[in-house]
Amino acid sequence: MIRIRRLALAGLVATSVTACGISGSDSSDSQRTTSAPTTHTACNASAATGSVFAAEERPDRPFAIQLPQLAGWQVSPAEGDEFKLRRADQHAGRKSVATVTLRTDRPLPANTSIAIGLSSGGHEWRLLRSETVDMCGRSATRVTGILRGADIDGVDRYHELLSSDYIAGGMLYPIRMAVEITATDRAAYQPDIDTFVDGLQIVPKPAAG
């Protein structure tokens, strides 16, 4: 049986298609990972500044997630179990905002395969990059692109989706990190986003007892 879940993250809809031993996607906007060499992240949240943002720990999750604590970024209210960081800056009469959202979905059997497709909701989606990332010893996919005219005022938005999983106790925990920035502000925030991706750390909880 194939289960399809749509993850509304950062303005895009990430379609997660899962099945035991099967992977696929129902999205016409699905993007394939390129064959470029795998990028290996540091998986060390404290390396950048010595301090970390820690997503709220949940008793049903056998790990914690940490991100580097960078200047200007603040924890922001989020929906459900999401963990959101936000940075706002003023530039010559206009305001720029960047958000980073972490989400861990309900666990699935460890032999489940997951494929992520991006649905743009009718807006034009221009893929910039799709690559495989080794994140804390697990394979992840990093997709970046521009969603054209996504705002009410028709402004283009830059998006990233980092998708991976964590296996513990015979269960698979899907992990997503989504980024949203006004496309014209991408260059200003990209160093911070790259630092978040490189430093994202999955910290296993010690065994009970």
User: Model confidence over 72-125: pLDDT tens digits?
Assistant: 999 999 888 899 999 999 877 888 999 999 999 889 898 887 766 666 666 688
DSSP per position, 150-176: -STT---EEEEEEEEEEEETTEEEEEE
Higher pLDDT, 17 or 81: 81
Whole-number pLDDT of residue 119 = 61
- Whole-angstrom CA distances from 88 to 91, 96, 99, 178, 187 are 10, 6, 9, 17, 15
- Per the CB < 8 A criterion, the answer to whether 25 and 47 are in contact is no
pLDDT over 60 (residue 56): yes
pLDDT over 50 (residue 18): no
Band (pLDDT 50/70/90 cuts) for residue 49 is very high
Counting the structural domains of the chain, the total is: 1
Mean pLDDT of 182-204: 95
**Does 32 reside within a domain?**
no
**Does 31 reside within a domain?**
no
Q: State whether residue 131 is helix, strand or coil.
A: strand
Q: What's the one-letter identity of residue 103? A: R
Contacts of 37 (CB under 8 A, 6+ apart): none
Higher pLDDT, 153 or 127: 127
Residues paired with residue 178 on neighbouring β-strands, in sequence order: 101, 161
pLDDT over 80 (residue 128): yes
Nearest to 48 by CA among 196, 165, 156: 196
pTM of the entire structure? 0.81
Least confident of 19-23, 169-173, 183-187, 204-208: 19-23
pLDDT over 70 (residue 208): no
Whole-number pLDDT of residue 91 = 79
Whole-number pLDDT of residue 113 = 77
**Does 82 reside within a domain?**
yes
Q: What is the CATH number of the domain that holds 175?
A: 3.40.1000.10
**Does 93 reside within a domain?**
yes
| End-to-end Cα separation, the chain, in angstroms | 37
- Whole-angstrom CA distances from 18 to 7, 22, 115 are 13, 7, 7
**Does 115 reside within a domain?**
yes
Q: Domain containing 56: what range?
A: 3-26+38-204
Mean pLDDT of 40-64: 92
Q: What is the mean pLDDT of the chain?
A: 81
Q: What is the CA radius of gyration of the chain?
A: 17
Contacts of 110 (CB under 8 A, 6+ apart): 167, 170, 171, 172
**Does 150 reside within a domain?**
yes
Whole-number pLDDT of residue 205 = 87
pLDDT tens digits, 141-173: 999 999 887 666 788 999 999 999 999 989 999
**Does 33 reside within a domain?**
no
Whole-number pLDDT of residue 124 = 83
Cα 127 from chain centroid (whole Å): 16
